[in-house]
Amino acid sequence: MKKVDILIEDYFDERELIYPYYRFIEAGFKVDLIGPKKGVFHGKSGYSMKADKSIDEVKPEEYDAVYIPGGYAPDRLRRYDKILEFVKKMYESGKLVSAICHGPWVLISAGLVKGKRVTGFFAIKDDLINAGAHYTGKKVEVDHNLITATDPTALAEMLKKIIELLK
């Protein structure tokens, strides 16, 4: 069974976390919500989700993919060195690394976008370009094992691609 971890922090975008969570389960994957610590995290609109494990309890080799939802959570997630190291090790070991909306901020801080074709929410376009990425502006962009998407309107296409690559 494939294992996917979804990174969680306060102020996550509920649409970009909850729909993928259940879609991955529906596809037959084991899904863990991983936070900087265990416990309850609150979305932008007030909906809460509980982290199954803290970043201290997991290893990249235990997972086949990492998914980073948007909202304001990525700005908080990228402040944790252990989160960045985890994502970087996933990428370097050929595992699938995906981020939507503001999620690519984590990829920038992990040093993963330089020279890569990426997309993301239009407001972080300059951040991606300044980090050396080739910003395409496409709804979904795939560059080897890196998948990025613009916003919730790209969720269906992005998740279809992630599931296809993991099966």
Q: Give the Cα separation of 51 and 62 in Å (integer).
A: 16
CB 75 within 8 A of CB 105: yes
| DSSP assigned state of 71 | B
Q: Give the Cα separation of 30 and 49 in Å (integer).
A: 16
Q: Give the Cα separation of 49 and 2 in Å (integer).
A: 22
**Looking at the chain, how many residues does it have?**
167
Q: What angle do CA 107, 95, 19 make, to 5 degrees?
A: 70
Q: How many CB atoms lie within 10 A of CB 153?
A: 10
Marked catalytic residue, from 42, 101, 134, 144: 101
Marked catalytic residue, from 42, 102, 134, 144: 102
Residue 101: active-site member:
yes
Q: Point out the residues that are catalytic.
A: 101-102
